[in-house]
């Protein structure tokens, strides 16, 4: 892997890793265990589920998500060996890229790092690339919103994700106010591979604005991106490990192809330059 020649890049990379370790150790001190990690391609992006980013009315959000759930449930049967529960279907919808009230996290720092520097939907413009890692203390968040120092699974929440009536959904918004950190069942490909975790949201208020002290953002210096890529390479984290299907395999092999082509082009150019320098001596 190609490492930056910037003399300070390695020091900045080590400093970044130390900051991540420092934040995770803070959580360990009060028994929080493994934190929730999330990677952002642009540090200005908010901790807000996709469905809230279009600034739709709550009525339209409720109707849109229920419509998507109906279509997803109708069409996805052949893809799963068993019938999915309401919550399981919602988790799978989010992993399929659909807008939901769920925000996806991972218990793996390496997985979050991958998404921070490899966002497939991010702009290709250099000014958009300002990667960062978010670290969430799920127990601290849930003490405020779920009113218990615990991380519930979907079965213990006591309500379905897709409420049949709008009034029921409104009651959840009033009761919990802010996001709840969940520990979902990891039964299928992407959920298992990505070590998935979620927060379920009841309003458009970004998590960091609702409860700032429960999350920490750590920026990834641009000079450290090659170090980050090397770290992921050595950790065995790539498109195929996170998306264990044909789509993930295709992306992995395409990147390898591009890498080999670039190496060949660079080596050819180097040979030409050396020949030209020799010819002029």
Three state DSSP letters for the chain: CCCCCCCCHHHHHHHHHHHHHHHHHHHHHCCCCCCEEEEECECCCCCCCHHHCCCCCHHHHHHHHHHHHHHHHHHCHHHCCCCCCHHHHHHHHHHCCCCCCEEEEECCHHHHHHHHHCCCCCCCCHHHCECEEEEECHHHHHHHHCCCCCCCCHHHCCCCCCCCCHHHHHHHHHHHCCCEEECCCCCCHHHHHCCEEEEECCCCCCHHHHCHHHEEEEECCHHHHHHHHHHHHHHCCCHHHHCCCHHHHHHHHHHHHHHHHHHHHHHHHHHHHHHHHHHCC
Residue 133: pLDDT over 90: yes
Residue scoring higher pLDDT (280 or 255): 255
**CB-side neighbour CA atoms (13 Å) of 122:** 21
pLDDT over threshold 70, residue 134: yes
| pLDDT bracket for residue 165 (50, 70, 90) | low
Where residue 276 falls among pLDDT bands split at 50, 70, 90? very low
Q: Which pair of tokens denotes residue 236?
A: 């065995």
pLDDT (tens digit per residue) in 15-61:
999 999 999 988 876 666 779 999 999 999 999 999 998 888 888 88
Closest CA to 64 of 200, 194, 162: 162
Q: What is the pLDDT of residue 121?
A: 55
Q: What are the domain boundaries of the chain?
A: 9-239, 245-281
CA–CA–CA angle 232, 235, 241 (5° rounding) = 80
Q: Looking at the predicted structure, is the pLDDT value of residue 123 above 60?
A: no
The pLDDT value given to residue 125: 54
pLDDT at 263: 65
Residue 6 has pLDDT above 60, yes or no: no
């Amino acid at each position: 892997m190609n490492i930056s020649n910037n003399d300070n890049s390695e020091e900045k990379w080590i400093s970044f890793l130390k900051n991540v370790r420092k934040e995770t150790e803070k959580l360990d001190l009060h028994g929080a265990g493994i934190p929730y990690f999330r990677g952002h391609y642009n540090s200005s992006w908010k901790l807000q589920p996709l469905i809230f980013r279009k600034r739709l009315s709550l009525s339209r959000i409720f109707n849109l998500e229920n419509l998507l759930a109906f279509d997803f449930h109708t069409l996805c049967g052949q893809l799963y060996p068993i019938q999915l529960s309401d919550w399981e279907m919602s988790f799978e919808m989010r992993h399929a890229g659909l807008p939901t009230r769920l925000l996806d996290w991972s218990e793996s720092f390496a997985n979050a790092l991958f998404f921070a520097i490899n966002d497939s939907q991010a702009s290709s413009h250099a000014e958009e690339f300002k990667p960062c890692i978010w670290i969430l203390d799920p127990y601290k968040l849930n003490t405020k919103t779920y009113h218990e120092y615990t991380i519930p699974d979907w079965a213990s929440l006591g309500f379905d994700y897709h409420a049949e009536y709008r009034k029921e959904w409104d009651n959840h918004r009033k009761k919990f106010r802010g996001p709840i950190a969940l520990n979902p069942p990891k039964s299928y490909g992407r959920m298992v591979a990505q070590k998935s975790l979620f927060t379920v949201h009841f309003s458009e208020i970004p998590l960091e604005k609702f409860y700032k002290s429960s999350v920490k953002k750590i920026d990834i210096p641009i000079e450290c991106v090659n170090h980050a890529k090397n770290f992921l390479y050595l950790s065995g984290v790539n498109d195929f490990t996170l998306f264990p299907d044909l789509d993930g395999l295709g992306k992995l092999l395409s990147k390898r192809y591009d890498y080999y082509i670039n190496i060949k082009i660079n080596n050819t150019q180097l040979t030409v330059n050396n020949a030209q320098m020799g010819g002029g001596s």
